Amino acid sequence: MKKFGLLLAGGIAALVLISNLGPLFGLAVSLFVLYFIVKQFLVSDSTFKKIIWGALGFFILMAAASNVPAILGIAAAYVLYLVYKKWNAPETGSTTSNDPFANFEKQWSELKKY
């Protein structure tokens, strides 16, 4: 049942990620261009050039802000990563030890706390 839940969550996350590939690409390109515009803004000496770079940077920033659905795509990629980690993790806790004193140490340490 646990694997079915992971499969369902992974499937939904994959669909969300695929549906947001366009905004993800747009966000990546606009942030890449914005990085170089900010670098040129900081390097320029002329006030006119700073105004031009600032205005261009503002327009590109608005283009990046219009790709807000890309955040859902990033969250879906993270959920896919978590599902992948859980899927490949070894199952623990369901096996019982044949050692009769295994629980004794745990219970003794709990009793010593009080």
Interval 70-97: pLDDT, tens = 888 999 999 999 988 888 877 665 555 6
Compute the chain's Rg from CA coordinates. Answer: 26
Q: Tokens in use for 47?
A: 């006030």
Give residue 68's pLDDT: 85
Q: Which domain holds residue 72?
A: 23-87
The total number of structural domains that make up the chain = 1
The residue written with tokens 């320029």 in the block is: 44
Residues of the chain under the 70 pLDDT cut: 1, 91-100, 114
Residue 46 lies in a domain: yes
**Does some domain include residue 96?**
no
pTM (predicted TM-score): 0.65
